[in-house]
Amino acid sequence: MSDTLQNLRIAGDDKMAGARRRRKKWPWIVAALVVLALAGWFMTPRTFVVEAATVGLAYPSRTVTELTASGYIVAQRKAALATKATAQLVWLGVEEGSRVKKGDILARLESADVEAAKKLAVHELSAARFQIASAEAELADATLQYNRMKKLSAGDYVARSEHDAAKARLDKAEAALSQAKASLAAREQALKKAEAERGYTELEAPFDAVVLTKNADLGDIISPLGASSTSKAAVVTIADMSSLAAEVDVSESSIEKVKVGGPCEIILDAIPGERFPGVVHMIVPTADRTKATVLVKVRFTTLDPRVLPEMSAKTAFLSRPLTPDETQPRLAVPAGAVIRRGETDAVFVMRGGKAVLTPVTLGEVLGDMRAVTKGLTAGEKVILSPPAELRDGDAVALAEG
């Protein structure tokens, strides 16, 4: 019995000693697990969610731009060619984009009736001229007869009544000649009217222009008022392309910054890579109460054939004219993308989902942009406001939206 108790006591002591040894190992196991977890976290690649911008061209004019305004390109000389006659369109010699010279015939209307009226006026004019010739001959004969009767009457060789009859005939001949001359003048005016009506059937270009729209087709009825749903008032719309200007709306509160003759740059959405020099041509002397804006017209210094009416445009009003060097764009990045690492300026470039630290050589300040003379190429994406913990080679992803 005593041996059994002794054995149980020994077994209990061994069990307690083993438990004590296990308790001593747990802190080391926990510490090892923490170390392994930290090592795994540091070794796992981090992904930073960032915003990026594209390296592109910036113009030095940004530094002297006082105001920008939006609007459209508008032809200052434009016409919708219509007619005073109502007739069918029988010939159209132009289409959209056709260039025409002043005096060119662009379209013709059916003109059989006015042609007949013109021929009638010509014949009536000829008849009026013959009437004058007849009246002149009658007047000449009546004058001779009157003079003869006057001499005979003075010597009492003829009755006084014959002298009076000769005088009446002379007066009648003079009146007939006057009437014939008046008729001739009326026939001449009738012919001019017929020629004018004949001219109404031909649409003539009033100035050098380009056809913008074709509003009617062969067979359409052209009416000066477009009174019915089947008639057309205008045949074509033309514009003088040399009169193109940017019309922009400037806020009333900023209009004092705009001066007639002031330098500008015109930016077209259709030609985003270029800027076109211009000057303020006119400040329209009235405001739009619904928008609280004033219309400003800006003319191009040199017109480009790619500029078309109704293109959307932005105008930058400059504080001074640009120098020739300032008209050339610079490669630039947003100033917020540039960081300082030691003595070197650098940016993080996104390449293959990684942030690549790239040293750059900076140029002048261009508003909120910085010119870059070395280190980048156009089209690359740089990270904006990179996080302080971002390192070369870290994984990056673009923020949504």
Would you say 309 and 59 are in contact if contact means Cβ atoms under 8 Å apart? no
- Nearest CA to 133 out of 83, 196, 176 is that of 176
pLDDT band at 169 (very low <50, low <70, confident <90, very high): confident
Backbone angles phi, psi at 127, to 5 degrees: -65, -40
> Rounded CA gap, 29 and 231, in Å?
96
Residue 41 has pLDDT above 50, yes or no: no
Q: Which amino acid makes up residue 158? A: V
> Rounded CA gap, 378 and 362, in Å?
15
Name, in order, each residue with C-beta under 8 angstroms of 385's C-beta and a sequence gap of 6 or more.
51, 336, 337
Taking the whole predicted model, whether its pTM rises above 0.75 is answered as no
pLDDT band at 79 (very low <50, low <70, confident <90, very high): very high
- Tokens 């307690």 belong to residue: 16
> Rounded CA gap, 93 and 18, in Å?
111
> Rounded CA gap, 85 and 53, in Å?
61
- Tokens 């190429």 belong to residue: 377
> Rounded CA gap, 126 and 188, in Å?
10
If you average pLDDT over residues 193-209, what whole number do you get? 89
pLDDT in tens, 266-302: 999 999 878 999 999 999 999 999 999 999 999 999 9
> Which run of H or of E encompasses 371?
strand 369-374
- Nearest CA to 236 out of 198, 209, 269 is that of 209
- Nearest CA to 48 out of 378, 377, 381, 392 is that of 392
What string of DSSP letters covers 14-66?
HHHHHHHHHHHHHHHHHHHHHHHHHHHHHHSPPEEEEEEEE-EEE-GGGGGEE
> Rounded CA gap, 268 and 274, in Å?
8
Percentage of the chain modeled with pLDDT above 70:
87
Backbone angles phi, psi at 171, to 5 degrees: -60, -40
Which has the minimum average pLDDT: 1-10, 57-66, 165-174, 193-202? 1-10
pLDDT in tens, 335-386: 989 998 888 899 999 998 899 999 999 988 888 889 999 989 988 999 999 9
- Nearest CA to 217 out of 98, 96, 309, 102 is that of 96
> Rounded CA gap, 190 and 184, in Å?
10
Helix (H, G, I), strand (E, B) or coil at 208: coil
Written as six digits, the tokens of 332 are 């630039």
Name, in order, each residue with C-beta under 8 angstroms of 328's C-beta and a sequence gap of 6 or more.
60
Which has the minimum average pLDDT: 31-40, 162-171, 379-388? 31-40
Tell me which of 1.10.3720.10, 3.20.20.80, 3.40.50.2300, 2.40.420.20 is the CATH number of domain 50-61+327-398: 2.40.420.20
Q: May I ask the CATH class of domain 78-108+202-239? A: mainly beta
Would you say 375 and 361 are in contact if contact means Cβ atoms under 8 Å apart? yes
What's the residue count for the chain? 401
How many CA atoms lie less than 13 Å away from 61 in the CB half-sphere? 28
| Domain spans in the chain, listed from the N-terminal domain onward | 50-61+327-398, 63-76+242-325, 78-108+202-239, 111-200
Exposed/middle/buried for residue 369 (C-beta within 10 Å: 0-12, 13-18, 19+): buried
Would you say 264 and 319 are in contact if contact means Cβ atoms under 8 Å apart? no
Q: Superfamily assignment of 63-76+242-325 in CATH?
A: Efflux pump adaptor protein, beta barrel domain (2.40.30.170)
